[in-house]
Structure 1
Amino acid sequence: MTLPPPILDHVVVDVRDRIDEAMRCFASLGFLLTPRGHHTLGSANHLAMFATDYLELLGFAENGPIRSEIARFPVGLNGLVFKTDDAGAVYRQAEAAGLPVLPVQSFSRPVALEGRTSDAKFRTTRFDPDKIAMGRVYFCEHQTPDLVWRPEWQRHPNGACAIARVVVATADPQRTAALFRDLFGHGAVAGRDGRQVMAAGTAQIELVPPDIVAAEFG
């Protein structure tokens, strides 16, 4: 199978039961975060919205259920999410190709704007994290993008306007990149300086051995 070229929708930072701490941390770094959202799935989030993508702080809602799919991961970046206009079509193509895809998931969260509350609605197509070589990878169909991308949430004190680069530490970049080649075609991922690199819209995704990550970031 070959889907259209990848475009990053957002990255997920799992903050578990530390969502208040994460909110303060990212605000101190100069990000303007959205008000806390509460998904019908039971999780809570804050977003740092950019021009075409965003960063999501995802944790447990106060006194709410613990989502097993995020509870199993430690605090930190654990989700790469790509854009799609049709989550169902992605599911059908991935299933036909024999990839470890999970059924389409539909959910929402209320958004209060100008004295009114509306539901932001989403459909996602996820891959089984037990059967792929990295955390959570999925596609997100935004059914109400006007409730997510708002100009008043895109003006960050630190000047951030996009996700430029996502670095994923992995012991076997080639194996980790296999899913992306299966989804987007062999030419979507290129080897470069010991890493596997894929363009995803305005962002670049890099699958990098831990020693190279340590040498670059310490």
Structure 2
Amino acid sequence: MTRRIDHLVVAVRDLDEAGSFYRRLGFQVGARNRHPWGTENRLVQFSGSFIELITVGEGAAIAPHQASAFSFGAFVKDYLLDREGLAMLVLDSQDAKADAAVFSEKGIGSFEPFHFERSGRRPDGSETKVAFTLAFASAQNSPKAGFFVCQQHYPENFWNPEFQRHDNRASRISSVTLAAPDPDRFRSFLTAFTGVQSSSPDGDDSSFRLGEDRIDVLTPDDAAEIYGSVEAEMEEPSFVAFAVRVDDIHRHANWLDAAEIPYQHIGTRLIVPASAAFGVAIAFEPT
């Protein structure tokens, strides 16, 4: 079974400021939620995928990493010590426990599955329960790029068409870009993580097709050329950009102009630079 992009974890220092910016981009942004260990998030939901804006809340009790336990909270906290941006890529899972076993067998993560629950809100404001089991993988020498899969236990309580209606008419996350000094080094890891083989559209760069989604792995120079500019660690792999589909690219250009948000028109895409978007370039592309 081909996986899909489930969600992107965008780490920010000011959650409300980030939420306001994403609203200015034309997205519907959900209410603030709090995880049991103290990270807090606000979500931008599409049909089958979402963007998770996340920060460390006051009074957080973040568990440290252990040999057999990957700490989601610690990863976010450590990431924010150095920068804001797209911290983690998450794929969907039908059985996170089984995926954790596969990751261990393939040598990309020997971590116990992590289960948690939290309260959520329906569109009418009433409370509901959501629950998830996560299975983490780890790419060698990549402290600023996190990877895991997520199993939804109450999907009927989470996915809701009312949350998926955006003023910019965005419909889905279509791609995510990882910048790495040596993209070829990620081939075996991402093949094990995604379950698909890569293509090589341009030299050492590669792309992993996940149904209608894809993961692009580029050199920092190639990523900067495609996205105008990126905020990438030259020595460490990091996620630098993602793309979202909108049904009318010219309408969205007018929207960004009215919102006074800077962007470049590169090819068929509108690119909001990382410098304006909390450390990650955002590409809007036609459906």
Q: TM-score, normalised by structure 1?
A: 0.90
- 1:72: which partner in 2? 78
Shift in Å, 1:107: 1.0
Contact 2:44 2:51 (8 Å CA) reproduced:
yes
What CA deviation, in whole Å up to 9, does each residue of 1:157-183 have, x standing for no partner?
011010112111111111123211223
3-state SS, counterpart of residue 223 of structure 2: helix
Contact 1:134 1:176 (8 Å CA) reproduced:
no
- 2:32: which partner in 1? 36
- Overall identity of the aligned pairs, in %: 27
What CA deviation, in whole Å up to 9, does each residue of 1:48-98 have, x standing for no partner?
111111111111124434532211112101111111110000011221233
The reply on whether 1:175 has 2:175 as its aligned counterpart is no
- 1:87: which partner in 2? 96
- 2:138: which partner in 1? 128
- 2:215: which partner in 1? 205
* AA aligned opposite 1:192: P
The reply on whether 1:103 has 2:103 as its aligned counterpart is no
- 1:139: which partner in 2? 149
Deviates more, 1:159-168 or 1:63-72: 63-72
Q: TM-score, normalised by structure 2?
A: 0.69
Could you tell me which runs of 5 or more consecutive residues in structure 2 were left unpaired when the two chains were aligned. 63-72, 229-287
Could you tell me which runs of 5 or more consecutive residues in structure 1 were left unpaired when the two chains were aligned. none
3-state SS, counterpart of residue 31 of structure 1: coil
* AA aligned opposite 1:12: V
Deviates more, 1:192-201 or 1:124-133: 124-133
Q: 2, 6, 11: which is aligned to 1:5?
A: 2
3-state SS, counterpart of residue 178 of structure 1: helix
CA distance in 2, matches of 1:206, 1:132: 16
What CA deviation, in whole Å up to 9, does each residue of 1:142-167 have, x standing for no partner?
00112221111100001101011211
What CA deviation, in whole Å up to 9, does each residue of 1:107-165 have, x standing for no partner?
12211334642221000001236655861100000001122211111000011010112
